[in-house]
Structure 1
């Protein structure tokens, strides 16, 4: 296991693929860790250098006191990539990870050559809704919200899979302080103005059954960014990398090939 010691936190990260390949960086969703990408790794092109990390308060990374801001999360990612010597990457962000990617591309365009925005938006929900979730976790823990969260994460068909029990465990074992901190970051973030000024290749991916970031929300964010492309995977929810890893990996692989050779 690898730990990067940064200014205000320590991040757990992992590298796979070709050490001489083109860098691709993955940022995961709220309540998950870097294992959320496990299923797609075998299906990606072999000439890529793949970096994954647990954002602060998740997985094996450290958990500073809440609240966090999106600037905090983007700065962590910026510092990690600088420490690893990674620049000009393709950045793949899922949900809050996509918000981190948009922020990073705005403030450090040298680090991001292209963006994949999966099941995310420039603005996710309303601050009051996120505060209600924060209050619920403070009062009764993440487990009290697990079933409705899993309903938003996965399609009804996938919810019948025994694998969902493992995802529930991942969610409920997320430190409450880290989960609350990231909820606060989402609540305080509206990237619509800055994302509309991005000028880089962007692929936005939605899931037809996503109740957390509905397809129309992902599509509307894509429409903000000049030249962005929107693709939808049918029959999947908020985590298409889990429900449809081959389709998801194909979309990313084709996008990377087009970006690098276009």
Structure 2
């Protein structure tokens, strides 16, 4: 079982992001990118199981978890820019990027714009588009109505809807606590940025080896959506 070290990286912009690091110093750098409202804790069980061939990093994105919360900058291109700056700050020349959910949008943007920094791309439950999905429209209505403090029931219900099988109670509680650290404005601006972005354009120009993972019980992302990504 791999040991996890929690560190911080100061980006060129001055923004400070916490990140978890695990695995082996000489292993292949793999950077895990979480989605909306999550943090590096999303990948905690995975980081503890990394094989000897992997050196894992999991940054927490701006506005999320214990990262700094600037007043703006929550569009997909902002998160992608932070990801490139994180690679620089952590001294990572080239890495495999693993993007989960909306984190995969930023990851694929970096893969398309900075292929020299990306050895491979893994997209885990990542949408091809969002505006055409009724479940996302319903979620957006709830997010627009959020006020601080974000209700615990909202976070717990959202987490419960995302898993087909029960999560460990400790992990679920930790993820809910991380979700509740995200201010209502960050929920709203991040989701607005995703809905307004031309997500189809972020699929163009990706030349690095790419693996698409998708859950066959996913009620939000249909199979056709994943075929569009392929």
* TM-score between the two structures when normalised by the length of structure 2: 0.83
Equivalent position of 2:196 in the other structure: 188
Equivalent position of 2:154 in the other structure: 145
Work out the CA distance in 2 between the residues paired with 1:211 and 1:118: 15
Work out the CA distance in 1 between the residues paired with 2:141 and 2:149: 12
Contact 1:122–1:190 (CA under 8 A) maintained in structure 2: no
Could you say if the C-alpha distance between residues 166 and 16 of structure 1 is closer, same or farther in structure 2, counting changes exceeding 3 Å? closer
Aligned partner (choices 65, 76, 81) of residue 71 of structure 2: 65
Aligned partner (choices 5, 10, 24) of residue 10 of structure 2: 5
- Bigger shift: residues 128-137 or 192-201: 128-137
Q: CA deviation at 1:144?
A: 5.2
Could you say if the C-alpha distance between residues 195 and 145 of structure 1 is closer, same or farther in structure 2, counting changes exceeding 3 Å? same
Work out the CA distance in 2 between the residues paired with 1:208 and 1:168: 24
Equivalent position of 2:3 in the other structure: none
Q: Per-residue displacement from partner, 1:68-90 (whole Å, max 9, x unpaired)?
A: 21111111111111122213211
Matched residues, number: 220
Could you say if the C-alpha distance between residues 176 and 194 of structure 1 is closer, same or farther in structure 2, counting changes exceeding 3 Å? closer
Q: CA deviation at 1:142?
A: 4.8
Aligned partner (choices 102, 105, 120) of residue 114 of structure 1: 120
Work out the CA distance in 2 between the residues paired with 1:207 and 1:51: 24
The yes-or-no answer on 1:93 pairing with 2:102 is no
Q: Please list, as runs of the form range in 1=range in 2, the aligned pairs for 1:1-262 lying within 5 A after superposition.
A: 1-6=6-11, 7=13, 9-66=15-72, 68-125=74-131, 129=137, 131-138=140-147, 141-143=150-152, 145-155=154-164, 157-158=165-166, 162-163=169-170, 164-222=172-230
Q: Which has the higher helix share?
A: 1
Q: CA deviation at 1:183?
A: 1.4
Work out the CA distance in 2 between the residues paired with 1:90 and 1:131: 31
Q: Per-residue displacement from partner, 1:43-74 (whole Å, max 9, x unpaired)?
A: 33212111110000111110112462111111
Q: Per-residue displacement from partner, 1:2-51 (whole Å, max 9, x unpaired)?
A: 22222152211122111121111100121211011111123332121111
Instruction: In structure 1, list runs of 5 or more residues that go unmatched.
Output: 223-262
Instruction: In structure 2, list runs of 5 or more residues that go unmatched.
Output: 1-5
Contact 1:67–1:180 (CA under 8 A) maintained in structure 2: no
Equivalent position of 1:258 in the other structure: none
State the secondary structure of the residue aligned to 1:117: strand
